[in-house]
Amino acid sequence: METLSVSASHGGTQGVYAHQSAATGTRMTFSVFVPPQAKAGPVPVVWYLSGLTCTHANVTEKGEYRRLCAELGLMFVAPDTSPRGEGVADDPAGSWDFGLGAGFYVDATEAPYAANYRMWSYITDELPALIAAEFPADMSRQSITGHSMGGHGALTIALSFPDRFRAVSAFAPIVAPAQVPWGHKALGGYLGPDTAAWRKHDAVALIEDGARVADILVDQGEADGFLAEQLKPHLLADACAKAGIGLTLRMQPGYDHSYYFISSFMDDHLRWHAERLA
């Protein structure tokens, strides 16, 4: 692991790191905030998964999480959203919602993406092992959150590993990618045309197929331009109601899809996680 930068913040440290990933076959960059409580021993870990076009830097620079993470004693880990570098396949049409920056937190099976786009294995296996080895992380106390495409990733990963993650939340998540254009493009391009293979990467489908968590917190801006076509939180609400999952879905008037929205409700999400990680 290479340390790219470390800065003091709120009594802890904000670092940016890189390593050569076996899962993606590329150099991957991620950020970690270590709170001051880690000086006395391992601390719980909150994973944050970013959205389309983002890197680790978006939430690191705009998320406004460090003050409360320092107060609550939470480590905050923010990975990148896709493999990058020379030779990594991108969308031949050059669109922003597929390819580089849009790994969708799946292990691709379709050429040419299968060679590098293995973000599911990277997030659920390789990076946690690295965090456990290199940082004062209490891996028995983990939770996960994310935004948009990252909210999709947080929900599907938490539903797939309910014994690993004590809490899950999301900001404006893509809850049912199999039913929206972003999902059709990403899941079809990475996993192929067999929609049955898409179900383990669709939160609503996972719940329909029996996956369970105790509760979920979702914030969604009512002024989000992607709300009606791409996000459709009512589908998650319906699935959770049928499955008996406690969903707190908060529709926030006036808020859009940006980090102004995310940073406004970050404290609420961190307190949600801290209560369940205690």
CATH code where residue 133 lies? 3.40.50.1820
Query: What burial letters (b/e) apply to 88-104, b meaning 16+ CB within 10 Å?
Result: bbbbeeeeebbbbbbbb
Give pLDDT, residue 201: 98
What end-to-end distance do the CA atoms of the chain give, in Å?
29
Give pLDDT, residue 24: 98
Rounded to the nearest 10°, the torsion over CA 54, 57, 59, 64 is: -160
The amino acid at 150: G
Q: How far apart are CA 65 and CA 213, in angstroms?
A: 24
Find the radius of gyration of the CA atoms of the chain: 17
Structure tokens at 6: 């470390």
Contact (CB, 8 A) for 143 and 165: yes
Contact (CB, 8 A) for 65 and 259: no
Q: Which of 50, 147, 224, 273 is catalytic?
A: 224
Give pLDDT, residue 262: 98
The amino acid at 152: H
Give pLDDT, residue 235: 98
Specify which residues 165 forms β-bridges with: 142
Residue 184 appears among annotated catalytic residues = no
Give pLDDT, residue 206: 98
Domain count, the chain: 1
Tokens 């102004």 sit at which residue? 260
Give pLDDT, residue 82: 98
Quote the domain boundaries for residue 145.
2-277
Give pLDDT, residue 128: 98
Structure tokens at 225: 């331009």
Indicate if the alpha-carbon torsion angle 200, 151, 211, 131 is positive or negative.
Answer: positive
Contact (CB, 8 A) for 183 and 177: yes
DSSP for residue 65: -
Q: Which of 56, 147, 257, 273 is catalytic?
A: 257
Give pLDDT, residue 125: 98
Tokens 């935004």 sit at which residue? 147
Residue 267 appears among annotated catalytic residues = no
Q: How far apart are CA 276 and CA 242, in angstroms?
A: 23
Per-residue pLDDT of the chain (278 residues; tens, 9 = 90+): 999 999 999 999 999 999 999 999 999 999 999 999 999 999 999 999 999 999 999 999 999 999 999 999 999 999 999 999 999 999 999 999 999 999 999 999 999 999 999 999 999 999 999 999 999 999 999 999 999 999 999 999 999 999 999 999 999 999 999 999 999 999 999 999 999 999 999 999 999 999 999 999 999 999 999 999 999 999 999 999 999 999 999 999 999 999 999 999 999 999 999 999 99
Give pLDDT, residue 240: 98
Tokens 């978006």 sit at which residue? 58
Residue 224 appears among annotated catalytic residues = yes
Give pLDDT, residue 174: 98
Contact (CB, 8 A) for 43 and 29: no
What would the 3-class secondary structure string for 67-110 be? HHHHHHCCEEEEECCCCCCCCCCCCCCCCCCCECCECCCCECCC
Q: Which of 21, 50, 148, 169 is catalytic?
A: 148
Structure tokens at 129: 């092992």
Give pLDDT, residue 182: 98
